[in-house]
Structure 1
């Protein structure tokens, strides 16, 4: 049995490990995305007066629509190291930045987070779109179901006195022994963080399937709606809800929350979407983020995710999975831990390859010796 599990661990690790290494390293970088983006694009992300009161979004909308002679379709509000407004104008590809303290135009950028968007794309999709998302999702699932479980089984010592060797790096060891210890010891200590990162990562690739499993486990009877199918019913007799009216709704419905983003309809069948969040900073704990879908003609709420009153299964995935996946669940402590956790797949993959090659060479030598001995 042990030999079979070892072979399973080996070949799954050699194949999925390459994908997980890329996903892990980009994930490590993305843990500090808010701070890195603000640092890399300080002229666009950091306000001219960091202590000043944030100007009202309505004035930003008026300024942008007048400046570019078009309707504002998206607003990203000052939040999580972003101290300024970002807006999108219909027909314009670039993201437009306005100072959060003065409302003045700052500039434009092709991607909202610049190079960090590329990091996220590699992390999620390996730059190959939906197929890449499936590949990363399956690799994460293999890590959870095969690599971590088989690794733990192989780590377990035969005798209690061998337990100490599985918990520490042996001092003054040879390169071969040190590499083996790195694979074994680091794999053991990071098994729980790797499990949490991977299982939540599977959710981002296969959200409907994972949500169904979570709903079943938590005995959630009310099915989670497919938000991609939420549409407005066209009404020629009614005017469209304006962006100003939507901002009023955000203020009235969630006075104690911080506005996160607002997306206006793309066509006559689309709906208005907005979300708010419980904290403006990168904080510890669950993320309470109400998300609301509104009919663009009647202003009626078509669906609203409420983080405190929604079914248990939905609360688990939406309140907890994002901060767990990105390491924000425990604040700076878990963010730093998650940074090193992201490096582990690459470390375990490389050390595993070295172990495998060493055993191949050993087996080859043994075969040669056996053949020479047989011919004598």
Structure 2
């Protein structure tokens, strides 16, 4: 068996093994890319508010009490997302998962989002996010709605296989001569071109042009999936130096001041004066720090300032400013934005969308290539001449 035939066998059988999972990951990835753009369109009634003439925002602590009452005390609120844009709502989330459970319905015990009008305190929507469309898409993408115990390993290793298929696909695509090269870079279809040839070209040509983008999407997915891969990337970025993670920090439990979300927001604003979007956690005990993300909402996520605050005083316990990160931390911070293309803004998201669409087509066209070769008719036997009896 020649090297290329060996690569073909590798490519073919791994494709059959992972094709359905890759198709699901890629199709959901097409939606995942534009979640931030699609939600305001479909959920305008809960994400936008009418700004009154005498615009005076209610305290966050008051909104939190109203949101907790609306969703029920049995669902303790865990975090809030606050936009300082005048026409945007504030939402609180209550979520609980069971990592050992199988199936989305069992894995996510509950997930509620309570959207609030920051001026009136009116509850705009109590969203059952567990079964909300975009959340279902995200969970399909990362665990096939099977939970993290089974679904996540299946997805993670399917991505590993897909990386191997991209590399083997490039080896198979590589033309052996000038004549073959003419059909590798562009569609050369005629009226007489058969469907099998068209399907073969639809597998090879778009696959080649999307290869680099799909490698970036896949490798950044592996950073999210595997801690060892994430650590390896950071080790390489830091020129072979392993930088230990900072020790955990805790709030001062001797301070009698109760947690105040308004105090946390003010502390986060002091850290990032130009920010207009904030994510602030709500601790479940008196010792845990408050986690805060803050940025201008026109900026990608990797530029958000990450801060841990004392839940009693708002004092900064730990700060991770974008400009202060080492090379490994910078790559880790940018990983999500590289994965969805937002590192390049809207053009990058469009590129990621098109590449994901091509990725979804590859298992389909590849399956038909395999099916066509498997059902290939053997050439008709030549008729033998009758023996002449002498």
Q: TM-score range by the shorter chain?
A: 0.7 to 0.9
Please say if 1:184 is aligned against 2:198. Answer: no
In structure 2, how many angstroms separate the alpha carbons of the residues matched to 1:103 and 1:8?
60
State how 1:11-160 maps to structure 2 within 5 Å. 11-49=13-51, 56=57, 59-66=59-66, 68-69=68-69, 73-78=78-83, 83-88=88-93, 94-100=112-118, 104-111=122-129, 114-130=132-148, 131-144=150-163, 146-160=164-178
Q: What is aligned with 1:254?
A: 272
**Unpaired runs of at least 5, structure 2:** 97-109
Q: Find the structure with the greater CA-based Rg.
A: 2
Q: What is aligned with 2:297?
A: 280
In structure 1, how many angstroms separate the alpha carbons of the residues matched to 2:120 and 2:253?
38
Cα distance change, pair 6–101 in 1 and its aligned pair in 2 (3 A): farther
Q: What is aligned with 1:244?
A: 262
Cα distance change, pair 265–67 in 1 and its aligned pair in 2 (3 A): closer
Q: What is aligned with 2:182?
A: 164
* 1:233-253 CA-partner distances (Å, limit 9, x unpaired): 673564444222211211111
CA drift of 1:264 comes to 1.5
Cα distance change, pair 52–109 in 1 and its aligned pair in 2 (3 A): farther
Q: What is aligned with 1:350?
A: 364
In structure 2, how many angstroms separate the alpha carbons of the residues matched to 1:30 and 1:54?
35
Cα distance change, pair 165–100 in 1 and its aligned pair in 2 (3 A): farther
In structure 2, how many angstroms separate the alpha carbons of the residues matched to 1:272 and 1:256?
20
CA drift of 1:101 comes to 6.2
Cα distance change, pair 369–42 in 1 and its aligned pair in 2 (3 A): farther
Q: Which of the numbers 230, 242, 245 marks the counterpart of 1:225?
A: 245
CA drift of 1:60 comes to 3.8
Q: Which of the numbers 331, 350, 359 marks the counterpart of 1:316?
A: 331
Q: What is aligned with 1:303?
A: 318
Q: What is aligned with 1:325?
A: 339
Q: What is aligned with 2:215?
A: 195
In structure 2, how many angstroms separate the alpha carbons of the residues matched to 1:85 and 1:139?
38
CA drift of 1:225 comes to 2.7
Cα distance change, pair 359–89 in 1 and its aligned pair in 2 (3 A): closer
CA drift of 1:297 comes to 4.8
In structure 1, how many angstroms separate the alpha carbons of the residues matched to 2:94 and 2:348?
38
Cα distance change, pair 108–246 in 1 and its aligned pair in 2 (3 A): same
In structure 2, how many angstroms separate the alpha carbons of the residues matched to 1:198 and 1:28?
14
Q: What is aligned with 1:7?
A: 9
Give TM-score scaled by structure 2 length: 0.81
In structure 1, how many angstroms separate the alpha carbons of the residues matched to 2:371 and 2:83?
52
In structure 1, how many angstroms separate the alpha carbons of the residues matched to 2:362 and 2:55?
46
**Unpaired runs of at least 5, structure 1:** none
* SS of aligned partner of 1:166: coil
